[in-house]
Amino acid sequence: MEMMATAREKYGSALRETGKLIRPPHTPSIDVTMRAVVALAMFEVVKGSHHSTGTVHAHVMGGAALMRSWCPMPSAPFAGFRALLQLCYSMYIPLHVAGMPMPPDFYDWVSYGSQLQLPIDRPSTDLAVLIARFVETSSIIHRHVISDGNPKTASVLQQLLDLESDLASWEAGLEGDWIYETINATHLPPNAVFEGEYHKYHDVWTARIWNYYRWARVLVNQNLLDLTNKSPVSSLSLVSAAARDHYLATIRRLARDTLVSAPTHWRHPALDGPAQITVESPGGGGAGSAGLPALLFHLKVAGCAPGVPKQYWEWALGVIQTIWGDMGMLHARSMMEAMRAHEDTVLRSGAAGILAYDW
């Protein structure tokens, strides 16, 4: 407790000092500035305890204040836009976990920032808006009683259905540098490379955006299944039995792809130098080590998704345990606890239903 109080005090001081340092005439390079901002923004994600509304609100508003301090903004498209967008992406997970909506300034900032993007980055901003829509819908589910037969329940279901359709269209519309290759690598350690495969992306940035897409769409489909099960009357005219099967298949596909992509995002100790170079994608990630806490959440979502085989859960847990043992990151330990709680839920349910596929 004392350590967390000290950490929060230092976090507040760091926010104030960073705010001063990025104002003219002291403005450093955009790379240095945005790495500092993103690292600060990730504090609420990696602090290793449960999120409260107050702390997440402080995190979001602190990040927004730093964004507003960025002046002047470039007047022409520039590659540094990726670092700016990374700050937006860092908001999604803590807001979703806390059941909070997106801050109003978020959409204005993305709209303005999208004018500065290079053509290759268009899918990044398109997805940013889609995930923000999911966070908004998720906050409604968290903050309201969703009862069967209520018009609001049908409205939420329709929002999720629209999101599922739009996310599918986003994936189908990708081309060029956004297309990745699946490499067979059965010779690499199975605890580091899931089912003998890994992905080869154009760069780390596209790999990260793909993973954000995966966890968001997994949770969209998971919420669709949950609401359909709990609200048979409201969902009767909206979700068919065939659609439910499609949602489960989509979840399994995206969960598997999340696990297969893991070597791109983290250097597993089981991979030696040459092997790690083989599975790595080129640079350009935009946030450095700040991407690791997000990966932990992605692994947890993939391993605990409804309908996935137990080996998905086991492999994801193994990687998270390795991160905890290798780096001592408290957030990894909290993800381990969440995954074990999920296992307890499945076992208590008597290994029945969509949660317990192949358990």
Map out the domains of the chain as residue ranges: 8-144, 159-359
pLDDT at position 96 is 93
Residues with Cβ within 8 Å of 242's Cβ and at least 6 positions away in sequence, in order, are none
Alpha-carbon distance of 307 to 318, in angstroms, equals: 19
Tokens 């605990």 sit on residue: 304
How many other C-beta atoms are found inside a 10 Å radius of the C-beta of residue 331? 21
Instruction: State the pTM of this model.
Output: 0.82
pLDDT at position 359 is 63
Amino acid occupying residue 343: E
Running DSSP on this structure, what letter comes out for residue 228?
Answer: H
The residues that bridge with 198 in the sheet, in sequence order, are: 183
How many other C-beta atoms are found inside a 10 Å radius of the C-beta of residue 14? 15
pLDDT < 70 positions in the chain: 1-5, 7-8, 11-12, 15, 18-81, 83-84, 275-277, 283-291, 350-359
pLDDT tens figures, 35-71 = 666 566 555 544 444 444 445 555 555 555 555 555 4
pLDDT at position 328 is 79
Helix (H) or strand (E) run with residue 181 in it: strand 181-184
Amino acid occupying residue 279: V
pLDDT at position 89 is 86
The residues that bridge with 197 in the sheet, in sequence order, are: 184
